[in-house]
Structure 1
Amino acid sequence: MADITDSGTAASKFGPRKSSWKYIGPGIVVAATGVGAGDLVATLIAGSKFGYTLLWAAVIGCVVKISLAEAAGRWHLATGRTLFEGWRSLGRWTTGYFAVYVVIWGFVYGATAMSSSALPIVALFPDGPGLKTWAVITGLIGLVFVWFNQYAVFEKVMTVLIGIMFVVVVYVAIRVAPDVGASFAGLLPVLPDGSLLYTLGLIGGVGGTITMAAYGYWVNAKGWTNTGWMKVMRLDNRVAYITTGIFVVAMLIVGAELLHASQIALTKGDQGLVDLGAILEERFGATTAKLFLVGFFATSFSSLIGVWHGVSLMFADFVERWQLDRKGVPVDEGTVAEVAAGRRERSLPFRAYLLWLTFPPITLLFLDQPFGLVVGYGVLGAFFMPFLALTLLWLLNSSRTPAEWRNGKLSNTLLAAGGLLFIVLCVQQVRDLPW
């Protein structure tokens, strides 16, 4: 007997007979969430400094992200358990780390996401309310949207936002008239002087956040709960990071063509995209500039509601595991299937974390992010991606995973390489913090 998944398509409860584009969804969500305004600025700056030379690094970065997200999704489907259940099986230290991380990270990220979403609105409507007012408004809209809508509606809205992002970024890249020959030459691995950190950042940074860990939760929320969906998940994941790769390549083109030749410097951080809007207006007119700012908003707001939803799901799972551990109750394998029905999206911990992401960070908008919190956020954030890569490597090579779904040589190589890369980036990020 067939059942209806969130995609509205009839499929066997054991999964579809073959993978198909019509099932794609969680990958679109993770791509829209993972690529934020700051990532686009970092890519633009790399293009402005080194032209097309680091294009190869962006391609390698997409391959690394595909391996990480595939590993997270494979764990959920192969074991019938969530990623946090896997972490918990590695020892109580994972619970302690995640508890501290998710509290401090969420507090500071909430303010960052709201400010990033407000910046393009202020640029589009300079005579309206100020940045802090718009930041609060975007945060409250995100809260209300995620609070009252479950995964199916959330996915549709994220698909619209990533569609806007895609069209705008590719349109701007075409407008600046890319040098096709130079872009192909950029696929050859070359390291210009002073480019090492930019190269590592391109490989490890764009689309690499806690939302990669949330991918498995979105897979379950879609209704994919067993290995019958494995081929679909893998297609979905590849689409996600190929889309991310197109974003990265397009922004490198803009940086190389619009900024590199003219030696124009952008402001670091999200403000750099407002600078780019002004440059686009001068070069191509107000219409292109405003269109770009709309794409900037779609990029930022999709990251906001993606984190509001995905990390809240992870927090709800964390609380559930903690409560079961306190009671000494073994984990029921039926838990994952219940996630697809939306139980966690209606739970008290899910909504409590939504409130945590929204209201306490509003105070930071007016306190300009106290020094200690910025340092704590930077340290914990730097350590998360190595934690994710290396724990997935551990889980997927152990008896916790059914033998047929454990890592092969390619998965092990990519996860190990990603783990080492993220450790290097972690050390560099910690060194660069304003201690």
Structure 2
Amino acid sequence: MKNYLKELGPGVLVSAAFIGPGTVTACTLAGVNFGYSLLWALLLSIFSCIILQEMAARLGVVSQKGLSDNIRAELKKPVSRFLALGLIFSAIVIGNAAYEAGNITGAVLGLQVVFGEQYLSFANFDINLWSLLVGSIAFIILWIGNYKVLEKIFIALVLIMSLAFIITAIVVKPDISQLLSGFIPNNISTGILGVIALVGTTVVPYNLFLHASLVSEKWKDKKYLKTAKIELIIAIVLGGIVSMAILVCGAASGLESVNSAIDLAEGLKPVFGKYATWFMAIGLLSAGITSSITAPLAAAYVVKGCLGWKTDLKSVKFKAVWAFVLIVGIFCSSLKIQPIKLIQFAQIANGILLPVIAIFLFWVVNKDSVLGNNKNSLLQNIFGFVVITIAIFLGVKSIITVW
């Protein structure tokens, strides 16, 4: 057990990254609107996430480079390299900057459930003090620039988040028979938008870049491939259980409609008392903080790979990228600015990016020159093809929705 705990890290960061405020809200809405009937969609999400993230982890351990580094190295023609890296760069960096405001706001909502709103008036602006606090915490953790410290902080936050949401799910006393029936697909067309939201918030494009880079920093030898795979599966399954717990809270709450997780937390108060509300708030706070850290970190790794930087976590250039993403998020969140155009661009770009990156990843992990004997097997290619098909469907649907 002690040896296993030492190996925890990259997979935990990936699960922490996809369980952000967006996932909390998507799972909450799925539970309130469709009861337990979309639990099977979360199983599909977990399966898809494991397939793609395992490829990214294997690529990172064997090649000792991130995904964007490998794409840059394998695309020999300047034009195709420029177009591919340009799409990746713009979608991840600008997209993460736009979504960072949502990540910070999610953590702020968790604080506001318990402590109320706190604003500071300055030059005709009302600045949200909680946004500044959350942003400052994320900034300090990233500024430390020590991977081992980062791992320990994330493991602690994920454990807190997991316990908070799972305990809340137990407190609301779900109907076990209905819960189990939710793992069997039934009348899929009714909740198709809910299915898209659940899969889309679990299979995250920037996590593929983040994971490949993190494992290359943690494990320096191919002998750790099995360890990386086991650690990944356990972490993502745990993340899936947390997502299911959030959906269960929404389904068991008895509420007819909510707009976000904050409404669910308030709605639980008169029925299940302050404890359920507290646990929900703690979970939302932890989810917001973890996503507030991983989004800027992933953006920095993408820029590093796209531009061919030979840097590390303590590099000034590396810090400048994540600081830009984080500061944009703090600014938009603290001033209640809704960066609609940026978010629309991010949604369209990510809608295109998910299947494109999945295809690039699929291409790279099948190359002898990159992975040699560790390239994809026939079974892994079959699973990968299925997941890419799902990614293409999600991408087209998200583009049409925004358009």
TM-score by length of 1: 0.83
- Kindly report the root-mean-square deviation, in angstroms, between the aligned alpha carbons of the 2 structures: 2.3
Displacement of 1:8 after TM fit? 9.9
Three-state SS of the structure 2 residue aligned to 1:289 is helix
| Structure 1 residue 401 displacement after superposition | 2.9
Q: Does the aligned pair in 2 maintain the 1:34–1:209 contact within 8 Å?
A: no
Question: Higher RCO, 1 or 2 (CA under 8 Å, sep at least 6)?
Answer: 2
1:388 deviates by 2.1
* CA contact 1:178–1:257 (8 Å) conserved in 2: yes
Q: Which contiguous aligned blocks of 4+ residues in structure 1 show a shift greater than 6 angstroms?
A: none
One-letter identity of the residue aligned with 1:409: L
Q: One-letter code of the match for 1:122? A: Q
Q: Is the 8 A contact 2:94 2:342 kept in 1?
A: yes
Deviation at 1:408, TM superposition (A): 1.4
Aligned residue identity for 1:397: N
246, 263, 281: which one pairs with 1:251? 246
8 Å CA contact 2:24, 2:246 repeated in 1: yes
Is the contact between residue 114 and residue 304 of structure 1 (CA under 8 Å) also seen in structure 2?
Answer: yes
Partner residue in 2 for 1:53: 37
Q: Distance in 1 between matches of 2:178 and 2:329?
A: 44
Q: Identify the structure with the greater helix proportion.
A: 2
Partner-residue secondary structure (3-state), 1:205? helix
Can you list the C-alpha shifts for 1:219-277, whole angstroms capped at 9, x where unaligned? 1222x022111000000110111111101221222122213xx5x2111xxxx111111
| 1:180 to 2:176 alignment | yes
* Structure 1: runs of 5 or more not aligned: 1-6, 10-19, 322-334, 336-342
- The answer to whether residue 12 in structure 2 is matched with residue 28 in structure 1 is yes
Name the CA shift for 1:240/1:278 in 2 (closer, same or farther; >3 Å).
Answer: same
Give the aligned partner of residue 118 of structure 1: 108
Percent same amino acid among aligned pairs? 24
Distance between the aligned counterparts of 2:11 and 2:328, measured in 1? 30
- Relative distance call for 1:184 and 1:360 in structure 2 (3 A) is closer
Confirm or deny: 8 A CA contact 2:168 2:279 kept in the other structure: no
Residue matched to 1:216: 212
Shift of 1:286: 1.7
Q: 1:80 to 1:107 in 2, by over 3 A?
A: closer
User: Counterpart amino acid of 1:391?
Assistant: F
The residue that corresponds to 1:358 in the other structure is: 326
| Amino acid in the other structure paired with 2:363 | W
2:89 corresponding residue in structure 1: 99
The alpha carbon displacement at 1:71 in A equals: 0.2
Take 2:117 and 2:370, find their aligned partners in 1: how far apart are those partners? 57
Partner of 1:206: 202
Residues 101 and 380 in structure 1, CA contact (< 8 A), matched pair in contact too: yes
Structure 2 residue corresponding to 1:155, chosen from 151, 155, 158: 151
Q: 1:207 to 1:95 in 2, by over 3 A?
A: closer
Q: CA deviation at 1:192?
A: 4.4
Check the 8 A contact 1:60/1:203 in 2, yes or no: yes
Q: Which residue of 2 aligns with 1:377?
A: 346
For 1:404, which of 370, 373, 393 is the aligned residue?
373
- What TM-score does the superposition give when structure 2 sets the normalisation length? 0.90
1:227 partner amino acid: K
The one-letter amino acid of 1:304's match is: S
Q: State the aligned residue count.
A: 390
Shift of 1:350: 1.0
Given the superposition, is the C-alpha separation of residues 425 and 216 from structure 1 closer, same or farther in structure 2, using an over 3 Å criterion? same
Distance in 1 (CA, whole Å) between partners of 2:286 and 2:109 is: 12
Residues in 1 aligned to 2:117 and 2:66: alpha-carbon distance in whole angstroms: 47
Unmatched 5+ stretches in structure 2: 121-126
